[in-house]
Amino acid sequence: MSSELRYTANTQLEHLHARYTGTGHADLTKYEWLTHQHRDTLASIVGHPPLTSFMAIADGEAIGRVRFEMTERMLQPCGPPPPKDD
């Protein structure tokens, strides 16, 4: 019974990872996880016009300007990646 439960849990986890790319995996670094979170947040704000309007009003900017700046921030939302340890 225990092996069946473990197999089912692994299958469900693999399905989630295949379906939702932002769910991560065992080798995901803190920087990569933060980058995914920031990109998802920025994409959600840009993809929902009321949120974009709210951000534009709060910043005192034009909606197009806010959308452009958020799209640009998606390239490196957390700054340059840390150096790799070899």
* Nearest residue to 52 (alpha-carbon basis) of 66, 73, 71, 38: 66
50-66 exposure pattern, b = at least 16 Cβ within 10 A, e = fewer: eebeebbeeeeeeeeeb
Any domain includes 33: yes
Any domain includes 69: yes
CA distance 45 to 43: 5
Any domain includes 51: yes
26 pLDDT above the threshold of 80: no
pLDDT of residue 16: 73
Structure tokens at 32: 């990569």
pLDDT of residue 4: 64
Q: What is the pTM of this model?
A: 0.71
Number of domains in the chain: 1
Q: What is the pLDDT of residues 56-83, one digit of tens each?
A: 999 999 999 999 999 999 999 988 888 8
Any domain includes 20: no
Any domain includes 84: no
Any domain includes 36: yes
Any domain includes 45: yes
Confidence of residue 23 (pLDDT cuts 50, 70, 90): low
Domain that holds residue 37: 29-73
Do 42 and 74 contact (CB within 8 A), yes or no?
A: yes
Any domain includes 10: no
Q: What is the pLDDT of residues 31-42, one digit of tens each?
A: 988 998 999 999
